[in-house]
Structure 1
């Protein structure tokens, strides 16, 4: 009799008992802030510089965990390979506003286990809203390895992170050894936006130097971008010009102001490759940037380097995606030409 009374009462009591919290752990982001995250990460949202952050998630093989689509600015054809590397994201909504701030309502509804951002103010606002957010800082070239190692810890994939770091170091060491041995003259190089006459990213100073070039804007600055005048550009007279899109390359070739530059006269106006992101900017593909640029700056010295094969191997081994030869050609030519599918 007693057992028949106690059992229903016990069931009723347990129904009101709080659910056992999922195991959690504390990580320190790149600002040193302690962030509590679940033991196992199943769902991750990326906010702000989404193509860049996605490339980092791809690099440790966790592309299927992303729960957001690309923001409006990244829905152009240039970023078409985002949906090749993570096809499911093509139908997902963006989680940010036009000014790249987080769309809190959408994020709360998506309920990610963690949000990744490269903007500290966004990380702070997300935490105040109850969402675990990791701030990823990336100013210097070596920082990309630290970011990937942090993500390896986040996803429980330290070996994948180490595999990326090893590939990064191996490619850079190989290029550096050959440059040191041959000591070729360094061509004058400019990576720039012709519409605004700016060198948009500090990281370009590093990869141009690492690839055996002499960046004409490498003045020791600490700020991200550097503006210059047309007069200064003519005085520099770069031997190689690199832009981030075919449209910019066409603009350079059509604009009479650039006609007298050595790079234009000799046909050395190059479009940076674009896979997960534009290789000339910050991206997990940065080691490939150095290899590609070294081949462009010193074609004879690196004549035996098969950049296509290296690119195909990089995406297969690190991103976990087998690309066709035609797809690799497209990436190395600056990314897709066709308009991106509407999302």
Structure 2
């Protein structure tokens, strides 16, 4: 390693250390770059990626400039009017930026907001955008347990403090409730879950993947953890047959319909016992896609799918109503009757 490389790594380590102290002191904010405008003067927020867009949408939909991902009509119909009509702009973070410096500057944002896994690469990317544009940039940690602090702090930063406190309180209540449920099941073997992503169901998350957080937080055992830790990975049908999970979760209703009639998949315990559950994806994924605050709506939905014996009859009905109430408080729209029914029996599309 040459001297320049060593100094670059040292500078990045210092940045990470400073960001960690910031995170501990300020809740969900991991790093800030540039001088932030006063909260009352933030009216134009550019979301660098999908988790940040959902965060801005639920806190202050009128301040979000546009979407980093393409939104279909069904998703837009479940969002408050200011957010429902916003254009697709592209993203700065994630798998390749699609927004150039000139385009970003032409949008004149008061703040660039980013959320997700905080690592050296993510931090250096945020700093680079700030250096190139001079636009203030805030990076918040996107982990599930950070959502209450994230909602509270970002709400304060963008001039939506009251809304931030309201949703932070709801988020904390949801996490406490799910945490208590997971603890109550410590004397039982946790349900062994396979989370099937993609049309063929052969993509899943390894141990520690942010995409698996909701499932693991609820106390389930991720069978793919046996393949190691990291992010998303491709697996074989042979591997799934060897894992033989108790529960199969997906967000693809078409995939769930296909596997029920597939000879190989019907050899899997979860399929054979009818424990295939389809999490809703509207307006955003309830378990993942993106791995943002949208998952807070999915957590109470998930509990009776993992622990059906603990939620018979009216108890499950109360939890499903709480899920619908949570949805409305986050998005400002009632959960449609068709989606209520689909979410109740796990056939949501």
TM-score where L is the length of structure 2: 0.73
Residue deviations 1:171-199, cap 9 Å, x none?
A: 23334434544644422111122536231
Matched position secondary structure for 1:259: helix
Q: Which has the larger radius of gyration?
A: 1
Q: String of CA shifts for 1:203-231, please: whole Å, max 9, x gaps.
A: 35442233342221235955222443332
After superposition, where does 1:67-216 map in structure 2 within 5 Å? 67-69=65-67, 71=69, 74-76=70-72, 80-96=74-90, 99-118=96-115, 119-120=122-123, 122-127=125-130, 128-138=132-142, 140-181=143-184, 183-193=187-197, 195=200, 197-200=202-205, 202-216=209-223
Matched-pair contact (CA < 8 Å) for 2:300–2:323 = no
Deviations 1:134-156 (A, max 9, x none): 22332x32233343233122123
Q: For 1:272 and 1:325, how far apart are their aligned partners in 2?
A: 16
- For 1:335 and 1:103, the matched residues in 2 are separated by 40
- Give the superposition deviation at 1:234: 1.0
Partners of 2:205 and 2:212 within 8 A in 1: no
Q: CA deviation at 1:336?
A: 8.3
Displacement of 1:243 after TM fit? 1.3
Paired residue for 1:47?
48
- 1:65 matched to 2:69? The reply is no
In 2, are the aligned partners of 1:114 and 1:131 still within 8 Å (CA)? yes
Q: Distance in 2 between matches of 1:313 and 1:273?
A: 15
* Partner Cα distance (2:72, 2:261) in 1: 23
Give the Cα–Cα distance (whole angstroms) in 2 for the partners of residues 309 and 221 of structure 1.
Answer: 37
Give, in whole Å, the separation in 2 of the partners of 1:69 and 1:206: 24
The answer (yes or no) to whether the contact 2:286–2:294 under 8 Å persists in 1 is yes
Question: How many pairs were matched up?
Answer: 303
Cα offset, 1:287, TM superposition: 3.0
CA distance in 2, matches of 1:242, 1:210: 15
Matched, 1:242 2:243: no
- The worse-fitting range, judged by mean Cα deviation, of 160-169 and 39-48 is 160-169
1:315 aligns with 2:327: yes
Match for residue 301 of structure 1?
A: 310
* TM superposition score normalised by structure 1: 0.74
CA contact (8 A) 1:272 1:332 kept: no
Shift of the 272–322 alpha-carbon distance from structure 1 to 2, 3 Å rule, reads closer
| C-alpha distance in structure 2 between counterparts of 1:329 and 1:114, whole Å | 39
Instruction: Mark the runs of 5 or more structure 1 residues left unpaired by the alignment.
Output: 1-26, 338-343
Alpha-carbon displacement from aligned partner over 1:50-94 (angstroms, at most 9, x marks no partner)? 2x222212333x1111111453xx3346xx334531434454432
Gap regions ≥5 residues in structure 2: 1-24, 116-121
